[in-house]
Amino acid sequence: MTGIEWLIETFGSPETALRSETSLRILFESIVTDMGLKPVGPPVWHQFPDTGGFTGIWLLQESHLTIHTFPEFRSACLNVFCCSTRPGLDWQTRLHVLLGATEVQVREFHRLYDRR
Amino acid sequence: MTGIEWLIETFGSPETALRSETSLRILFESIVTDMGLKPVGPPVWHQFPDTGGFTGIWLLQESHLTIHTFPEFRSACLNVFCCSTRPGLDWQTRLHVLLGATEVQVREFHRLYDRR
């Protein structure tokens, strides 16, 4: 069995999007819906009072989503981890449409956990 | 500003360690203590009824910890993400001592989020 994880950095988003729990919630829900993932409970959100940046974490049957936003740098770091390989989304378009990102960097890694 | 993330796979642990919330909680607490990290609330744990494997997520001021255990494969996948670079731990020794892992694979990535 091999998992798959995307490490994604976004740049150029409006600060307001990165300080909006609603925007981030819509992003998480769109990923879960379009990849056919099954959440375990609701996501956990924390907003940092100094910058207004958010951390969001969503535990899934298939592993997890996390995001950290940095409004002061107009950037964010997203992780999408699935415990079985599958196609990703068009991350550039998704993050442009939902967070206003003007640049998106994506790295994809396999995570082997069964070597029998 | 650049973050740092470790993607870690462990192999060879006893199934009992990977089904023990106590073992995993001690691992998380030891990482937080020895790296000087500051949790935001308690960790969230979920045990999967079919395999007894756990997912654990801990939101930190400095980003997050996650673990997924696969007792059926005697393996686990750990992520440690910090929003500022710092030295890691001796992951091999730590995961051998606390989870009984006989092999540990570590990948380290920088995550740039300020390109001004």
Which tokens sit at A19?
């300080």
Q: What is the mean pLDDT of residues A21-49?
A: 97
| Per-residue pLDDT at A49 | 96
Question: Per residue in B52-95, pLDDT tens?
Answer: 999 999 999 989 999 999 999 999 999 999 999 999 999 999 99
pLDDT at B41: 94
Q: Is B9 left (phi over 0), alpha (psi -120 to 50) or beta?
A: beta
Q: What is the pLDDT of residue A1?
A: 84
What is the largest distance, in Å, between two alpha-carbon atoms of chain A? 48
Judge contact between B12 and B74, C-beta under 8 A: yes
pLDDT in tens, A96-114: 999 999 999 999 999 999 9
pLDDT at A115: 84
Calculated CA dihedral for residues B112, A46, B62, A19, nearest 10 degrees: 30
Given this model, what pLDDT does residue A34 score? 97
Residue whose tokens read 């990923």: A31
pTM of the model: 0.96
- Chain B residue with minimum CA distance to A50: B61
The answer to whether A109 contacts B79, with C-beta atoms less than 8 Å apart, is no
Q: Give burial (CB, 10 Å; 0-12/13-18/19+) of B113.
A: buried
* Contact list, A63 vs chain B (CB under 8 Å): 55, 68
B19: phi > 0 → left, psi -120 to 50 → alpha, else beta; which?
A: alpha
pLDDT score, position B59: 96
Is it the case that residue B35 has pLDDT exceeding 90? Answer: yes
Write down the ipTM of this complex. 0.95
Inter-chain contact A44–B44, Cβ cutoff 8 Å? yes
B2-112: CATH number: 3.60.90.10
- B chain contacts of residue A68, beta-carbon cutoff 8 Å: 3, 63-64, 81, 83, 113
Q: Which single residue is written with the structure tokens 């740092």?
A: B4
Q: What is the pLDDT of residues A41-77, one digit of tens each?
A: 999 999 999 999 999 999 999 899 999 999 999 999 9
- Domain boundary assignment for chain A: 2-112
